[in-house]
């Protein structure tokens, strides 16, 4: 059984049918038959034989399931227990190794998630016993490869479209889509290829071909990081939505503040800020007070957290907000510097005091470039002018006004 000689080629299923019909059921050694099946058949042939057996010979099928459960003790990889490497496992190992060698990390992750979903949705009782031993290994690989993708995202470097597609594995759908849109804009601005649109389509198709779904589910780990669950289509981004966005060319429209700066020119939220939430609160209250008091406008109607958006923008090469919100925030802050009488001095004296209290680091070298570019190099706010606000001598226009900042910061501390 299960041999292919010379030109007399028969499918494994036909060979199996011939064997079963010509053999008395009582003479079949079910365990030997099971091992022969597992040793010889690849996944497609295995499924054909198992489905046929379940349909036509239910007693034999039940015996195969029983034998498989007996050798899959304690959900352990029974191939090692028996000293065997069965065909199904051999094929899966080869596929994952090939993907790792010849495709990038993001495509590898897409393939693994697709494989996980495929086996998780299996209904055949015997195959389910096999799959029980497969899923933990696939889950471990997903966890490992996902960590590599996350580290790439956290590197603050310019990211590829493949990495952008992996946002949807990591973040909630709406947040991931915002990040993806910003990445597209940044990517187009930095590409030298004239065929970028064709490359995006090819990447999208290849990614979804690996995934074998028409949507990208968010990966959710359990509390012990041992098992995963995946969001449904309703809570996930679809291929159609992504393709429609790429086709729309929206990412070719106006840029967003600081898009031209490299990641290492921006403020590093991990290294350059002691307490990110505290600094965000300072900016939020400062902007809100002067927007209401000096510009005489209703802050609530903005529906923007100016401090949160500003700090995120100056710290991230791919901010998490949409271009419209980033640009609106920039315009409002420009207005504050232009038309709010006391805002500029209080803003810089707060920065100076925070530097002295070691709440911020390296801002004297980075922030002048960042703020000058953010504000569009407004008059009186060039890099050279901003550097003066970090001096420790009388050249600093606010060095004698530190009490203003200290009083303001005390109020912030009371509210946090």
- Give me the pLDDT at residue 233, please: 93
DSSP H helices, 155-191, are: 161-170, 173-190
Place of tokens 């090469």: 317
The whole-chain average pLDDT of the chain stands at 82
Given a contact cutoff of 8 angstroms between Cβ atoms, the answer to whether 290 and 338 are in contact is: no
Of residues 183 and 70, more confidence is placed in: 183
Contacts within 8 Å (CB) and 24+ apart, 286-290: 286/343, 286/346, 286/347, 286/350, 286/408, 287/332, 287/333, 287/336, 290/336, 290/340, 290/342, 290/343, 290/346
Contacts of 302 (CB under 8 A, 6+ apart): 291, 328, 332
- Asked if residue 30 has pLDDT above 70, the reply is yes
Confidence of residue 4 (pLDDT cuts 50, 70, 90): very low
Beta bridge partners of 360: 273
Predicted structure pTM score: 0.53
What pLDDT, in 10s, does the model give residues 129-181? Answer: 777 777 788 888 899 889 999 998 887 677 889 999 999 999 999 989 988 88
- Helix (H) or strand (E) holding 75, with range, is none
Tokens of 74: 């304690």
Tokens of 292: 């209401």
- Per-domain boundaries in the chain: 1-73, 81-248, 263-415
- Give me the pLDDT at residue 364, please: 95
Within a 10 A sphere around the Cβ of 207, how many other Cβ atoms? 21
Q: In the chain, what is the straight-line distance between the N-terminal and C-terminal CA atoms, in Å?
A: 76
Q: How far apart are CA 413 and CA 416, in angstroms?
A: 5
Highest mean pLDDT among 6-15, 253-262, 361-370: 361-370
**Percent above pLDDT 90 for the chain:** 36
Of residues 112 and 23, more confidence is placed in: 112
DSSP H helices, 265-401, are: 276-293, 306-315, 323-339, 343-356, 363-374, 383-388
Any idea which of 65-69, 291-295, 352-356 has the lowest mean pLDDT? 65-69
């Amino acid at each position: 059984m299960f041999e292919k000689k010379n030109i007399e080629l028969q499918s494994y299923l036909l060979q199996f049918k011939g064997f079963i019909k010509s053999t008395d059921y009582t003479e079949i050694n079910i365990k030997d038959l099971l091992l022969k099946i597992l040793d010889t058949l690849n996944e497609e042939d295995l499924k054909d034989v198992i489905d046929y057996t379940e349909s036509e010979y239910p007693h034999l099928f039940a015996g195969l399931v029983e034998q498989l459960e007996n050798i899959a003790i304690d959900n352990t990889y029974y191939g090692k227990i028996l000293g065997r490497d069965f065909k199904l496992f051999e094929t899966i190992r080869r596929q994952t190794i090939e993907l790792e060698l010849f495709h990038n990390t993001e495509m590898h992750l897409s393939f693994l998630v697709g494989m996980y979903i495929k086996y998780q949705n299996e209904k055949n009782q015997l195959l389910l016993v096999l799959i029980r031993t497969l899923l933990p290994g696939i889950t471990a690989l997903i966890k490992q490869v996902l960590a590599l993708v996350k580290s790439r995202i956290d590197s603050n470097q310019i990211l590829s479209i493949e990495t952008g597609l992996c946002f949807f594995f990591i973040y909630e759908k709406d947040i991931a889509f915002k990040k993806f849109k910003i990445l597209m804009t940044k990517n187009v601005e930095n590409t030298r290829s004239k065929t970028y649109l064709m490359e995006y389509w090819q990447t999208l198709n290849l990614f979804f071909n690996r995934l074998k779904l028409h949507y990208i589910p968010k990966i959710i780990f359990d509390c012990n990081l041992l098992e995963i669950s995946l969001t449904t289509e309703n809570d996930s981004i679809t291929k159609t939505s992504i393709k429609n966005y790429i086709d729309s060319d929206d990412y070719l429209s106006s840029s967003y503040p600081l898009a031209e700066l490299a990641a290492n020119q921006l403020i590093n939220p991990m290294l350059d800020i002691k307490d990110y939430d505290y600094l965000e609160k300072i900016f939020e209250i400062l902007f809100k007070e002067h927007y209401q008091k000096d510009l005489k406008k209703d802050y609530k109607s903005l529906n923007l957290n100016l401090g949160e958006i500003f700090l995120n923008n100056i710290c991230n090469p791919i901010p998490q907000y949409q271009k419209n919100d980033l640009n609106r925030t920039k315009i409002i802050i420009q207005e504050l510097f232009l038309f709010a009488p006391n805002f500029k001095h209080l803003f810089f004296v707060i920065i100076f005091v925070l530097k002295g209290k070691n709440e911020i680091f390296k801002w004297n070298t980075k922030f002048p470039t960042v703020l000058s570019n953010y504000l569009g190099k407004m008059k009186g706010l060039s890099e050279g002018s901003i550097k003066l606000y970090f001096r420790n001598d009388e050249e600093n226009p606010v060095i004698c006004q530190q009490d203003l900042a200290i009083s303001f910061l005390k109020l912030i501390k009371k509210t946090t």
